[in-house]
């Protein structure tokens, strides 16, 4: 599904290397988690994969189902099936959440040569998905993320994911700013989307989220590289002992 | 000798180039206006009030030519049930206009109104004269003196549909001057629509007297002809508990100066003025607003949004004057521009002048580019860059468009702005 080989990335305006050769292979149906100390390059990886500006790829490759992601515009990556749930979802005054969702869904369908969703059909689907995530009608009517609480913003991200049905989902610290109940709700939303044809990359600081979204593989990232890969137990080890032991082990 | 003066003085040259139309009750009012015009002279580049907009092409005796745009869109407000009044290059088109009959109002043309005891005697040029202080508005005096026609509307009730003034532009050298007067009696209500480029050069004055408890809605669009020029004035006086709401959409046009002068003279009155404009290339759009609070507990709102690209210029001069005794005034003013590239500019001069001590007045003026984070967010969800930019641009304009109370008209205006953005994508 997602194949990253020796990916090296620096900041565009600064001579600062962030990713120093990341290798990652995620198959359909798998959930991978990336943990790591602050500043290790986790969020940068998610931004570079989704096409955010400000970064320069200096080496390596990233492909989704064999198609080179790095050459594509952000919207083309989205249409190809990549989705990033933002750590800090952006507030957009003046654009209604419904308009935003429908624009996104239909733009992707159009890009893939599929028929656009009718207003009635869209409304039906979005209402059902929103209900599962306990997102009320008022939130759908409001401008995108405006006046949403931290939890509402994250639920809104999952709603977008549910509507767009991507092949590869990247969740960037989706647990940050969530209380226990909200985390459960968001996790349930994610788990409902787990399927054979869909891969997940979950970036998190805490084991807690991984109690709800059970990963198949856990990676530890440090200083722009993945330094250790293991099973779910690796996350527990981090939770109990911190990163110090693992970092020492590698060096 | 007179010729020599005319050649050197732009005001005399302008006066010499036109003849005053004949009328009955309006004649002395025209003569007064001509005297006012001569006393103040046409605006010049060094005038403070014209600091940002060069008045030359508005004050030269002959209108600069303006190509006529071939219509490729349905006419504005085509689906609205309204009483239609049509002017072509400033001339009344009786064939295209409806009968001037509508329950709750009387409608007459300025050019054919000959009753000597006319109600408009107390309005024509009267609000314009009041609006000449503290800032001179010579183009409005020119209008009062030389307007060839216009509509006089006396609103006594609540007409069932809006009056729609449609201004066609068919001659590339037309130079039109129209002057409308509207008087709303106590408790009366009306909606006035205006649309179209009108002429190569258009000078228009609208005077509105809003009686106690009366309500006036005004929605205007100024056509899409790229080379047309317009200098318009709205003068309004508001009675107790009355409401005045005016929205203007401007797309294209090489030069537009829209002045709006409002006096809140009755307690608890509300005045809202809003504008959304979009310009690409050779485009200058100037909103100049002067709102005077001269009564207790009145509200005024000014909401102006401008989208500019390829060297277009946007100007906003907006003032709120709160007179002594106008306590509990609530004045709000916002002017913002979205610059879609580095070549465009927005010049703003917000002013507050307050002589009462229990008031709430705010003003804000900003200029900025598209929010990159929002753009990336939209693109990451699949919206192509141009579509995402348009969505954000429409969202920027929405605050002004939302000032329109009629939902269908609001939607219509939004669709027109959306269509313009589609045609002018970067």
pLDDT in tens, B246-293: 999 999 999 999 999 999 999 999 999 999 999 999 999 999 999 999
B304: left (phi over 0), alpha (psi -120 to 50) or beta: beta
**Nearest in space to B292 (alpha carbons), one of B160, B115, B133:** B133
User: Which H or E run includes A24?
Assistant: strand A17-26
Q: What was the pLDDT predicted at B1?
A: 46
Mean pLDDT of A92-102: 91
- Token pair, residue B281, equals 């290339």
Instruction: Write out pLDDT tens, residues A20-43.
Output: 999 999 999 999 999 998 889 999
Stretch 135-154 of chain A: residues touching chain B, C-beta under 8 Å:
143-144
* pLDDT recorded at residue A139: 87
Question: What structural domains does chain A harbor?
Answer: 2-250 (3.40.50.300)
Q: Is residue B392 part of a domain?
A: no
Question: What angle, 0 to 180 degrees and rounded to 10, lies between the N-to-C axes of helices A97-111 and B385-401?
Answer: 160
In contact, B426 and B390? CB cutoff 8 Å: no
Task: Single out the residue of B204, B177, B203 nearest to residue B192, CA to CA.
Answer: B204
Confirm whether B419 is domain-assigned: no
Chain A nearest-CA distance from B385, in A, is 8
**Chain B residue whose CA is closest to A157:** B381
The ipTM (two decimal places) reads 0.95
Q: With a cut of 60, say whether residue B2 has pLDDT above it.
A: no
Domain count, chain B: 1
Res B5 pLDDT > 60: no
A164 lies within 8 A of chain B by CB: yes
Asked if A99 is an interface residue toward chain B (Cβ–Cβ < 8 A), one would say yes
Is residue A108 a contact partner of residue A92, using CB atoms and an 8 Å limit?
no
Which residue do the tokens 């050779």 mark?
B282
Domain-embedded: residue B413 = no
The answer to whether B376 contacts A107, with C-beta atoms less than 8 Å apart, is no
Which of B376, B392, B394 faces A74 most closely, judged by CB atoms?
A: B376
Copy the structure tokens of residue A6: 């020796």
Task: Output b/e per residue, B245-255; b: 16+ Cβ within 10 A.
Answer: bbbbbbbbbbb
Supply the pLDDT for residue B4. Answer: 53
Q: Which residue has the tokens 């779910």?
A: A232
Provide the pLDDT confidence category of residue A134 given band limits of 50, 70 and 90: confident
CA-wise closest residue to A132 among A155, A157, A106: A155
The 3-class secondary structure across A116-155, one letter per residue, is CCCHHHHHHHHHHHHHHCCCCHHHHHCEECCCCCHHHHHH
By Cβ distance, the residue of A50, A107, A144 closest to B384 is A107
Helices (H) and strands (E) in chain B, counts: 9, 20
Residues of chain B found within 8 Å of residue A50, distances taken between Cβ atoms: 380
- Residue B329 belongs to some domain of the structure: yes
Residues of chain A neighbouring B377 (CB-CB closer than 8 A): 86, 89-90, 92, 144
Considering the domain boundaries, does residue B343 fall inside one?
yes
Task: Let me know if residue B13 belongs to a domain.
Answer: yes
Judge contact between A65 and A1, C-beta under 8 A. Answer: yes
Model confidence band, residue A203 (pLDDT cutoffs 50, 70, 90) = very high
Q: Which two tokens stand for residue A116?
A: 């656009």
Instruction: Place B426 in a pLDDT band, splitting at 50, 70 and 90.
Output: low
Residue with the two structure tokens 């709303």: B184
Task: Please indicate if any CB of chain B lies within 8 Å of the CB of A54.
Answer: no
For residue A240, pLDDT beyond 90 = no
C-alpha span between B62 and B14 (Å, rounded): 8
Three-state secondary structure call for residue A181:
helix
Instruction: Flag whether B280 is in a domain.
Output: yes
Pairing of strands B313-322, B105-109: unpaired
Between CA B123 and CA B150 the distance in angstroms is 13
End-to-end distance of chain B based on CA atoms, in angstroms?
55
Over chain B, what is the mean pLDDT? 95
- Of residues B287, B235, B233, B293, the one with CA closest to residue B269: B293
In the predicted structure, residue B37 carries a pLDDT above the cut 70: yes
Per the structure block, which two tokens stand in for B190?
């009306």
Q: In this complex, which of A50, A93, A94 lies closest to B380 when CB atoms are compared?
A: A50
Give A90 to chain B, closest Cα distance, Å: 6
| Rounded alpha-carbon distances, angstroms, from residue B322 to B80, B214, B236 | 38, 22, 16
> Left if phi > 0, otherwise alpha if psi is -120 to 50, otherwise beta: which for B349?
beta
Instruction: With respect to residue B215, please indicate whether it lies within any of the assigned structural domains.
Output: yes
- In the DSSP assignment, the letter for residue B48 is G
Residue A179 tokens read as 């209380």
The Cα–Cα gap between B254 and B260 comes to: 20
What is the chain B residue with the closest CA to A170?
Answer: B380
Contacts of B374 in chain A (CB under 8 A): 90, 92
Q: Is residue A161 within 8 Å of residue A132, measured between CB atoms?
A: no
What range defines the domain where residue B232 resides?
A: 2-372
What token pair was written down for A102?
Answer: 């429908």
Sign of the torsion formed by the C-alpha atoms of B220, B224, B225 and B227: positive
Task: Determine the distance in angstroms separating the CA of B421 from the nearest CA of chain A, rounded to an integer.
Answer: 16
């Amino acid at each position: 599904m997602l194949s990253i080989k020796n990916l090296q990335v620096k900041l565009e305006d600064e001579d600062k290397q962030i990713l120093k050769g990341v290798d990652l292979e995620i198959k359909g149906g798998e959930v991978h988690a990336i943990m790591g100390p602050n500043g290790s390059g986790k969020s940068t990886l998610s931004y570079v994969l989704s096409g955010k500006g400000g970064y320069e790829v200096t080496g390596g490759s990233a492909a989704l189902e064999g198609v080179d992601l790095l050459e594509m515009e952000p919207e083309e990556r989205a249409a190809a099936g990549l989705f990033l749930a933002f750590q800090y979802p952006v507030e957009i005054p003046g654009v209604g959440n419904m308009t935003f969702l429908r624009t996104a869904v239909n733009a992707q369908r159009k890009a893939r040569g599929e028929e656009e969703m009718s207003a009635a059909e869209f409304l039906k689907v979005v209402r059902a998905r929103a209900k599962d995530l306990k997102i009320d009608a008022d939130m759908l009517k409001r401008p995108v993320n405006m006046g949403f609480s931290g939890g509402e913003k994250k639920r809104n991200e999952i709603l977008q994911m549910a509507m767009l049905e991507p092949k590869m989902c990247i969740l960037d610290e989706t647990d940050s700013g969530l209380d226990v109940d909200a985390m459960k709700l968001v996790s349930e939303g994610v788990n409902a989307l787990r399927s054979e044809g869909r891969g997940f990359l979950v970036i998190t600081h805490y084991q807690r989220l991984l109690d709800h979204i059970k990963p198949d593989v856990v990676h530890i990232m440090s200083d722009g590289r993945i330094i250790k890969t293991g099973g779910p137990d690796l996350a527990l080890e981090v939770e109990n002992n911190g990163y110090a032991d693992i970092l020492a082990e590698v060096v | 000798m007179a010729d020599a003066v005319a050649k050197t003085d732009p005001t005399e040259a302008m006066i010499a180039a036109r003849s005053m139309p004949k009328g009955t009750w309006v004649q002395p009012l025209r003569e007064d206006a001509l005297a006012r015009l001569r006393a103040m002279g046409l605006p010049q580049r060094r005038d403070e009030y014209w600091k940002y907009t060069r008045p030359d092409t508005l004050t030269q005796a002959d209108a600069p030519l303006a190509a006529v745009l071939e219509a490729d869109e349905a006419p504005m407000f085509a689906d609205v049930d309204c009483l239609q009044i049509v002017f072509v290059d400033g001339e009344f088109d009786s064939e295209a206009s409806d009968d001037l009959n509508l329950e709750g109002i009387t409608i007459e043309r300025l050019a054919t109104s000959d009753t000597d005891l006319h109600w408009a005697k107390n309005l024509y040029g009267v609000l314009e004269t009041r609006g000449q202080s503290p800032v001179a508005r010579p183009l409005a005096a020119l209008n009062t003196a030389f307007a060839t026609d216009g509509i006089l509307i006396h609103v006594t009730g609540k007409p069932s549909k809006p009056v729609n003034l449609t201004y066609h532009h068919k001659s590339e050298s037309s130079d039109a001057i129209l002057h409308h007067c509207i008087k709303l009696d106590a408790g009366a209500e009306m909606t006035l629509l205006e649309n179209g480029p009108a002429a190569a050069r258009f000078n228009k004055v609208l005077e509105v007297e809003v009686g106690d408890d009366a309500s006036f809605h005004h929605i205007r669009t100024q056509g899409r002809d790229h080379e047309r020029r317009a200098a318009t004035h709205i003068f309004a006086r508001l009675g107790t508990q009355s409401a005045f709401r005016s929205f203007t959409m401007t797309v294209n046009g090489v030069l537009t100066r829209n002045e709006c002068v409002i006096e809140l003279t009755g307690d608890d009155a509300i005045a809202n003025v809003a504008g959304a404009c979009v310009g690409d290339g050779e485009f200058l759009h100037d909103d100049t607003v002067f709102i005077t609070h001269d009564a207790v507990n009145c509200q005024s709102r000014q909401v102006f949004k401008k989208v500019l690209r390829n060297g277009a210029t946007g100007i906003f001069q907006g003032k709120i004057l709160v007179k002594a005794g106008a306590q509990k005034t609530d004045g709000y003013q916002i002017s913002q521009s979205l610059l879609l590239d580095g070549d465009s500019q927005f010049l703003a001069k917000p002013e507050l002048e307050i002589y009462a001590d229990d008031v709430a007045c705010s003003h804000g003026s900003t200029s900025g580019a598209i929010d990159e984070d929002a753009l990336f967010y939209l693109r990451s969800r699949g919206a192509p860059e141009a579509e995402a930019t348009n969505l954000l641009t429409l969202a920027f304009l929405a605050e002004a468009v939302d000032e329109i109370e009629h939902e269908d008209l609001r939607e219509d205006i939004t669709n027109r702005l959306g269509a313009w953005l589609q045609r002018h994508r970067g």
